[in-house]
Amino acid sequence: LVRLRARLARSQSSLGKGLLTLLSRENLDEETWEEIEDTLLRADVGVAPTQELVERLRERVRVLGTRTPEELRALLREELLHLVATDADRTVNTAGGVSSTGDELPAIALVVGVNGTGKTTTTGKLARVLVADGKSVVLGAADTFRAAAADQLETWGSRVGARTVRGPEGGDPASVAFQAVKEGIQETADVVLVDTAGRLHTKTGLMDELGKVKRVVEKQAPVGEVLLVLDATTGQNGLVQARVFAEVVDVTGVVLTKLDGTAKGGIVIAVQRELGVPVKLVGLGEGPDDLAPFEAEAFVDALID
Ligand code: GDP
């Protein structure tokens, strides 16, 4: 975790440094505030949160009068935290349900998102975290459309110690999801993670497909978590995707991948604001250990340290 924090800090520090340099100017004139706005927008913080942050900063700097670098840093830290923090629970829900006959049911999590965002990789990494935590995990390879997705998931599964349930290529994603949950229940697994197909061909197509996956799964066990995987490097495009998915399915948490490859961590703020759903996990690399819980304070410190 410490190593991951350092990596996050390296990728995100330019935003905070840029802001602090601007805020430290002797004369905080209109032009400087515009530069501060531009810096935030370039980091994908989003228009409304940027305006809110700048307004609050302006007011607090005005009240403060003369300011030391330490004061400015503390102030910026507080205000960024104000934007990133949420009352929502950021832990991935791994509490299983109980069937109508009183039997324990595995916790079910659907992993959704557009292909290429890192869905399968995230599913594998998450399985690893859960297995390391002593949980038995079944993986459902319901992305039956991307040619190698099931193989890729199975490779992850055997690497981390989770069995993968798969169907024929091009088969019905919902029937694979159904089967994975069925087997998860039969073998009293703790968690079933279902990797879904992310074809954003048309909204109705996606809606039909994901809706069906969720419905057939819920016939057997409640879906406690729908994790939306977004690629942090895709910026505003990622937000558009987020909006579409949120309309189609009840997203309960966001996983922001590839934060190691971009300084645009402001997307954390934008996506939480857009969906009203917390960022729960962040991807910081392609390796099995490169998934971290999202921590608001550590994230803000990474921005400004
Ligand atoms: P899917 O189509 O959404 O299932 O995407 P994949 O899981 O196949 O991931 C697409 C590519 O992104 C792969 O090359 C992954 O190794 C890479 N990837 C996934 N997550 C991360 C991350 O957090 N950081 C980096 N740098 N690469 C990632």
| Digit-coded pLDDT (tens) for 120-173 | 999 999 999 999 999 999 999 999 888 799 999 999 999 999 999 999 888 899
| Digit-coded pLDDT (tens) for 223-245 | 999 999 999 999 888 898 899 89
Q: Probe ligand 1: pick from 129, 286, 291, 294, max atoms within 8 Å of CB? A: 286
Interior CA angle at 70 toward 68 and 300, to 5°?
135
Q: Is there a binding annotation on residue 257?
A: yes
Percent of the chain with pLDDT over 70: 99
Q: Is there a binding annotation on residue 118?
A: yes
> What tokens does 174 get?
């919902």
Nearest to 240 by CA among 46, 92, 80: 46
State residue 145 phi and psi, 5-degree precision: -95, -40
Q: Probe ligand 1: pick from 110, 121, 195, max atoms within 8 Å of CB? A: 121
Distance CA 9, CA 260 (A): 9
8 Å CB contact between 266 and 274? no
- Report, as an integer, the average pLDDT of 244-271: 91
Nearest to 183 by CA among 228, 139, 232, 216: 139
| Digit-coded pLDDT (tens) for 29-62 | 999 999 999 999 988 999 999 999 999 999 999 9
Mean per-residue pLDDT over the chain, rounded: 91
Q: At 281, which amino acid appears? A: L
Q: Is there a binding annotation on residue 196?
A: yes
113: left (phi over 0), alpha (psi -120 to 50) or beta: left
Which residue is closest in CA terms to ligand 1's atom 6? 118
8 Å CB contact between 169 and 144? yes
Interior CA angle at 247 toward 270 and 211, to 5°?
135
Distance CA 16, CA 184 (A): 45
Q: Is there a binding annotation on residue 283?
A: no
The 3-state secondary structure of the chain, one letter per residue: CHHHHHHHHHHHHHHHHHHHHHHCCCCCCHHHHHHHHHHHHHCCCCHHHHHHHHHHHHHHHHHHCCCCHHHHHHHHHHHHHHHHCCCCCCCCCCCCCECCCCCECCEEEEEECCCCCCHHHHHHHHHHHHHHCCCCEEEEEECCCCCCHHHHHHHHHHHHCCEEECCCCCCCHHHHHHHHHHHHHHCCCCEEEEEECCCCCCHHHHHHHHHHHHHHHHCCCCEEEEEEEEEHHHCHHHHHHHHHHHHHCCCCEEEEECHHHCCCCCHHHHHHHHHCCCEEEEECCCCCCCEEECCHHHHHHHHHC
123 Cα: distance to centroid of ligand 1 (angstroms)? 10
Look at the pTM and tell me if it is higher than 0.90: yes
Angle of helix 47-64 relative to helix 69-84, nearest 10 degrees, comes to 150
Q: Is the pLDDT of residue 201 over 70?
A: no
Q: Is the pLDDT of residue 5 over 80?
A: no
